[in-house]
Amino acid sequence: MSAAAAMAAGSRREFDFAPADHQAIAKIVYDTLGILLPEGKAQLVYGRVAPRVRACGVASVSEYLRIVAQDDEERGRMLDALTTNHTSFFREAHHFEDFVERMWPTLAQRLASGGRVRLWSAACSSGEEPYTWLMAALGSDKNAAQRLLKGDLRLLATDVSPSVLDTARAGRYSADTLRTVPAKLRATWVDSRLTVDPLLRDAISFRPLNLLGPWPMKGRFDAICCRNVMIYFDEPTKAKLQGRLADHLETGGMLYIGHSERLSPDVAKRFECVGRTAYLKVRA
């Protein structure tokens, strides 16, 4: 948005919101989450922060920022409001098709013979991505799926936003949200109350995790989905995150990233690109 357009929008705003307020918010968000909020995003930032300003009963964003500086919970609520959580069931479905063809036969065999399988949906938002992943892998034969789910299969699903994790854990979605689940899978895994089967929910550990912070996980994963979050990061943040993801992946494991994301040159050396934004780890 141009400066003139921003001023025009500003004159219609309920709360005072100066460029310095935007800069202060952008700094907190970048320092904490790595998300870039350039000046052109001022209107989006205002739209997301205004409900918090109203809830706190103050008259301007600068007053609100004084509260945020002293109150960690409100700071958390502001950060939560500023994350973009857009997702859907079977989004970029080619990743799950690749996983089912390339990885699942071996992993299912491993599970059936008592081995362990570890998957990670990093930045899982409200849960559509990890539920899709398991539905795609397990298919619509519930008895066979039940046998596999008795094995040592865990899908770790993490996000920094507590509110989306609450939705993910509940596993209840609107009919419109469930529209993109293929009919057979929907009939198998979603009940009449539009809630995902507890068998799937129990196989997933939903946990809060900032991708920029420390990671408590010790073992390596057989496959990682880290999709549509790196678009918000600058190049050094992306490269560092991708290196850490590679370290946490088994050699022979798969990394799936979002359609507009690319691996940085150094990290790309450890992978072979085997499909659309689908990378096989070939070097430790």
Ligand X SMILES: C[S@@+](CC[C@H](N)C(=O)[O-])C[C@H]1O[C@@H](n2cnc3c(N)ncnc32)[C@H](O)[C@@H]1O
Catalytic positions are 48, 159
- Which distant-in-sequence residues (6+ apart) come within 8 Å of 34 by Cβ? 211, 212, 232, 233, 234, 237, 241
Task: Number of residues interacting with ligand X: please give it, by CB under 6 A.
Answer: 24
Binding mask of the shown chain, residues 19 to 38, with x at each position contacting ligand X by CB under 6 A = --------------xxx---
Does 84 engage in binding with ligand X (CB under 6 A)?
Answer: yes
Closest CA to 136 of 231, 211, 208, 225: 225
User: Which of 125, 167, 188, 277: binder of ligand X (CB under 6 A)?
Assistant: 125
Tell which phi-psi region holds residue 194, choosing left (phi > 0), alpha (psi between -120 and 50) or beta.
left
Cβ–Cβ < 8 Å for 37, 26: yes
* Pairing relationship of beta strands 271-275 and 278-281 according to DSSP bridges: antiparallel
Does 164 engage in binding with ligand X (CB under 6 A)?
Answer: yes
Q: How far, rounded to the nearest angstrom, does the alpha carbon of residue 259 sit from its chain's CA centroid?
A: 14
User: Which of 46, 65, 83, 130: binder of ligand X (CB under 6 A)?
Assistant: 83
Closest separation in Å from C-beta 25 to ligand X: 15
In this structure, the number of other CB atoms found within 10 A of the CB of residue 233 comes to 21
Does 229 engage in binding with ligand X (CB under 6 A)?
Answer: yes
Does 91 engage in binding with ligand X (CB under 6 A)?
Answer: yes
Closest separation in Å from C-beta 198 to ligand X: 22
Does 85 engage in binding with ligand X (CB under 6 A)?
Answer: yes
Question: Applying CB under 6 A, which residues contact ligand X?
Answer: 33-35, 83-87, 91, 123-125, 129, 159-161, 164, 210-212, 227-229, 258
